[in-house]
Amino acid sequence: MKQPMMSRRAAMMMLAGGASALALGAGTRAAFAADETIKVGILHSLSGTMAISETTLKDVMLMLIEEQNAKGGVLGRKLEAVVVDPASNWPLFAEKARELLTKDKCDAVFGCWTSVSRKSVLPVFEELNGILFYPVQYEGEESSRNIFYTGAAPNQQAIPAVDYLMANEDVKRWVLAGTDYVYPRTTNKILEAYLKSKGVAAEDIMINYTPFGHSDWQTIVSDIKKFGSAGKKTAVVSTINGDANVPFYKELGNQGIKATDIPVVAFSVGEEELAGIDTKPLVGHLAAWNYFMSVDTPENKAFIEKWKTFTKNPKRVSNDPMEAHYIGFNMWVQAVEKAGTVDHDAVIDALIGVSVPNLTGGHATMMPNHHITKPVLIGEIQEDGQFNIVSQTPGLVVGKEWSDYLDGSKDLISDWRKPLSCGNFNVKLGKCGGKAA
C-alpha cells in the first residue's frame, strides 16, 4: 500500500525539530565537557614534622591552579585541586596516593618532600600508571617513568656546594650531618666518595645522623665544634630535614659557632624554615639551592607579587621547592595541551623536551631522564632571613639521576624515550636492568 506523502510543512517542522534536538544534545555535551573538571592531586604534609616545609607547597599549588583556571583552564576544562594530608606519615603517603589515583581519578599529582615519602608512593604510581611531580632536591639513584623530578639531583646541589667550599673557604675537614633516612644517607655516601676522590682523608670526614624531629643538639654541636678545632678549616654539610633545623641552628648560636669559624651549607633550609628562627647568629651560613627569593628578575618579582596577593600576607616568603612546583605545573599544562588529552601515557611522552620559563631568568627543560635543567646558586643567610647570592653557575646544569661516584651507578643512564624507554640502562653491559652483579 502506498504511504501518503508528508506535507512540506510537516517535513520542515520535523527537520527543524531534529536539528533543535541535535543542537540541544551537542550543547549539553559541550556544557558537560566544560563542567567536567580535570583533577589535580596535592600530596603534601599539612601536619607533623614536615608541615613546616610542605604546607607552603600546598598553598602555591592552589595559587597556580586558580591562576590557570582564570586563563580558561586546560583543554577548555577547569582544574580542580584535591588536597590530602599524609601527615608526615610515610606509609600514609602511599595510602593517600592510591586514593588520589583510584577514588579521585587525579590526572596528575604534585607532592612529597622527603625521599622516604617518595619511595613510599613510587610503586603506587607505577602500578596505577599515575603521574607524580616531585619538587624537592633528592639523592638520585632513581628514575621512574611515572615520576618527574623537578628538584635538584646531587650534581645540581650537593656536589657544587662542596666545590664552592673547597674553592672559596679552603675547607679541609667535613661534617656530613643529616636526618636518618634515605636522602641524607645516600647523598652523604655520594659526597663521601666524591671527597675521597678529591684527596680528603677518611679521618677528615665526620658523619652523623639524627631522627626526624630531633631537638637535643647540645652534644652533637659540641662534637662538631671539637672536630673543627684540629687546625684545619671545617665545614658542615647539612641534610637535616624538617623542624629539627630550628633547634639545630639555635644551638649553633648558643655555642657561638659562626660562619667564619665553621660554615654550614644546608640543602633543606630555605626562606620558609628561616622565617621561624632568630637569624642573627646565623648570618653568613650558607644554603645551596636552584632558586632564592632574592633573585632579581622580572619573572621572580611578578611571581612574588602574585604569591603575596594570593596569600593576603605581605610577609609570606617564597622558596626553591615552590619554584620547582611552578616549573612542574607549567610543564604539565604545556604537555597536556601538546598531547591534546590528559591520557597519562600520552602526557608522559609529551613531557620530554617541554621547556618553560623558570624564575631565575632562564628556561627549564624536561630531559629524557625525567630530570630538568637548573642553575645552581649558593646563598649566604642574611639577618632578614633572605639570602645574598654569592655564587651562580654561568649556565644550566642537567640533572644526573645516577651518580658518577658510586661503583654500582656510574655505568647507568636513564632515557624514557622510545625505543629505549629504560630508567637504568647499563652502557657497559648494553642492556636495561641496571647494576652489574
Q: Let me know if 436 is exposed, middle or buried by CB neighbors in 10 A (0-12, 13-18, 19+).
A: exposed
Pick 156-289's CATH classification: 2.40.50.140, 3.40.50.2300, 3.40.50.720, 3.10.180.10.
3.40.50.2300
pLDDT at position 10 over 60: no
Higher pLDDT, 33 or 231: 231
Residue 5: band (very low, low, confident or very high) from pLDDT cuts 50, 70, 90 = very low
pLDDT tens profile 265-292:
999 889 988 887 788 878 999 999 999 9
Query: What confidence category does residue 35 fall into, taking pLDDT thresholds of 50, 70 and 90?
Result: low
Q: Is residue 301 scored above 60 in pLDDT?
A: yes
d(CA 403, CA 413): 10
Would you say residue 3 has pLDDT above 50?
A: no
Residues 334/356, Cβ–Cβ less than 8 Å: yes
> Mind listing the pLDDT tens digit for each residue in 311-341?
999 999 999 999 999 999 999 999 999 999 9
> Is there a common fold for 38-153+296-375 and 156-289?
yes
Domain ranges of the chain: 38-153+296-375, 156-289, 407-437
Cell of 369: 631522564
- Asked if 106 contacts 41 with a C-beta cutoff of 8 angstroms, the reply is yes
Query: Cα–Cα distance between 110 and 176 in angstroms, integer?
Result: 30
- Does CATH place domain 38-153+296-375 in 1.10.357.20? no
- Check pLDDT > 80 for residue 9: no
Q: Buried b vs exposed e over 269-279: b needs ≥16 C-beta within 10 Å?
A: bbbbbbeebeb
Residue 358 class from Cβ within 10 Å (0-12 exposed, 13-18 middle, 19+ buried)? buried
My answer on whether omega of the bond before 419 falls inside 30° of 0, hence cis, is yes
- Asked whether the predicted pLDDT for residue 124 surpasses 80, the reply is yes
Q: Determine the pLDDT at residue 8.
A: 34
pLDDT per position as a tens digit, 163-176: 999 999 999 999 99
Give backbone dihedrals phi and psi of 63, rounded to 5 degrees, phi first. -65, -45
CA atoms within 13 A on the CB side of 276: 13
If you average pLDDT over residues 211-217, what whole number do you get?
94
* Model confidence pLDDT, tens digit, residues 65-106: 999 999 999 999 999 999 999 999 999 999 999 999 999 999
Higher-confidence residue of 244 and 425: namely 425
CB distance 364 to 356 below 8 Å: yes
Q: What does the pLDDT read at residue 242? A: 82
